[in-house]
A = this chain, B = another copy of it.
Amino acid sequence: MLTLSHHNPTACRAISDVLARVGDKWAVLVVELLCNGPLRFTELQRSIGNISQKMLTTTLRGLERDGLVTRTVYPTIPPRVDYELTTLGRGLHEPVKALSDWARANIDRINDARRVFDAERD
């Protein structure tokens, strides 16, 4: 079994985990949104637009579990819950931005390649 870090199995699985998280569309959107400061559940949901409550909850739990996001409950009525990026979460944003910058810079080439490929495939 090949590994990402010079054949270290444990590190490999760990890195795959992080990459999978970045590959998760919703998780990236949430991190991006929280960059400008904390938001509450409903604000996140409205901002994203078409995410189900279930998926937003699942995404936030995952980010919280990995120590990327903090969850703060205010025992008011009605209840209020704020989500905020941790230092770790803000650190993750940097390489993610590098990747999305690369995507923006090369998306035309990728789309061209797709058109050519699809055209040749009759």
Which residues of A does B touch, CB under 8 Å?
1-2, 4-5, 11, 14-25, 28-29, 32-33, 47-50, 64-67, 88, 91-92, 94-96, 98-104, 106-107, 109-114, 116-118
Contact = CB atoms under 8 A, between A and B. Distances in A.
Instruction: Say how many copies of this protein the assembly contains.
Output: 2
- Determine the main DSSP class of A at the interface with B: helix
10 contacts: A1-B50, A2-B33, A2-B49, A16-B28, A19-B28, A19-B96, A20-B25, A88-B109, A91-B102, A96-B99
A16 B5 contact: no
Nearest to A33: B2
Contacts of A91: 102, 106
Contacts of A33: 2
A3 to B, nearest CB: 9
Contact of A113 (B28, B66, B113): B66
A17 B95 CA distance: 17
A111 B14 contact: yes
Contact of A19 (B23, B65, B94, B118): B23
A17 to B, nearest CB: 8
